[in-house]
Amino acid sequence: MKRFTMPGTEIVAPNVVLGLMRIQEKTDDEVRELVRTARDSGIDFLDHADVYGSELHGCERRFAEAMQLTPSQRDELTIQTKTGIVGEGPYFDFSYEHIIESVDGSLAALGTDHIDILLLHRPDALVEPEEVARAFDELEAAGKVRAFGVSNHTPRQIDLLKKYVRQPLVANQLQLSITHAPIVAQGVAANMAGEQQSLTLDGGGILDYCRLNDITVQAWSPFQAGFFTGVFLGSPEYPELNAVIDRLAAAYDVPAIAIATAWITRHPAQMQVVLGTTSPERVAGAALGSEIPLTRAEWYELFRAAGYRVP
């Protein structure tokens, strides 16, 4: 498992992360097996959110109840969670009061005295960055949160927060897979008139922006074809892509899911792949993609097979 020190932190993190948004209905044994498989594969970085589960803090609580971590076991893990989505609306809330209440709820649900990384989950159109800064300062001073970041944010939204927030924003969690790669495709197709993928979206250049500003990109839904439209692996809708994936999987002697992982980990932006599966087998298979040295030719072949234009 490839590891790196996340810029702006002292966290030595794996480039594959275990996401726990689907564990609400899992038994204690199933949760333990999932986490144990991840740990055996070199994954000690866990991704939560306050809204994951059938109730507020549901998956965070299910995790804590199943794992019953000792203080030393807790310290072996990097636990990340998110705040800002109000499920009853739904709507978004980056107010000081909501952030503080959410973090206190996450700490209680997780049974821990600190969160390693707190992300703002989705942009709040009504954000008052001074309130975010006040909340972050208080949480840091109390030792409740050690590092901060965002999710699904554009360059200018991050700049607005950075005008007031003193702490470095160390991560931006963004949707990315071989078949859902606008944050990569825009740059490849720059200055190509008439090409849909050349259109500037969300302010443009978020991947390069994160690299320039030492923000680790965390790729969520790395195997989804689109926005929760189903996985592309083995899908009859992507015959050319799957043929390339299967050929490379055979060449590297890994399962297909490892090649899908490797397409992201091969990128020099040093991104993390956030797994959403609750299958231990798929977790172990994906982890094998952590260090696969795809060549440029192989990387671009996958990109083209997914339907993207390479001039």
Q: Which residues are known to be catalytic?
A: 52
Task: Give Cβ neighbours of residue 152 (< 8 Å, ≥ 6 apart).
Answer: 121, 122, 123, 172, 173, 174, 175
Beta strands in 100-238 (DSSP E): 117-120, 148-151, 169-175, 216-220
Peptide bond just before 90 cis, omega within 30 deg: yes
Determine the residue type at 141.
A
Collapsed DSSP state (helix, strand, coil) of residue 103: helix
| Count of C-beta atoms within a 10 Å radius of residue 215 | 25
Alpha helix segments (H runs only) across 196-238: 206-212
Distance separating alpha carbons of residues 263 and 248, to the nearest angstrom: 11
Largest Cα–Cα distance of the chain, in whole Å?
58
Contacts of 239 (CB under 8 A, 6+ apart): none
Classified as helix, coil or strand, 117 is strand
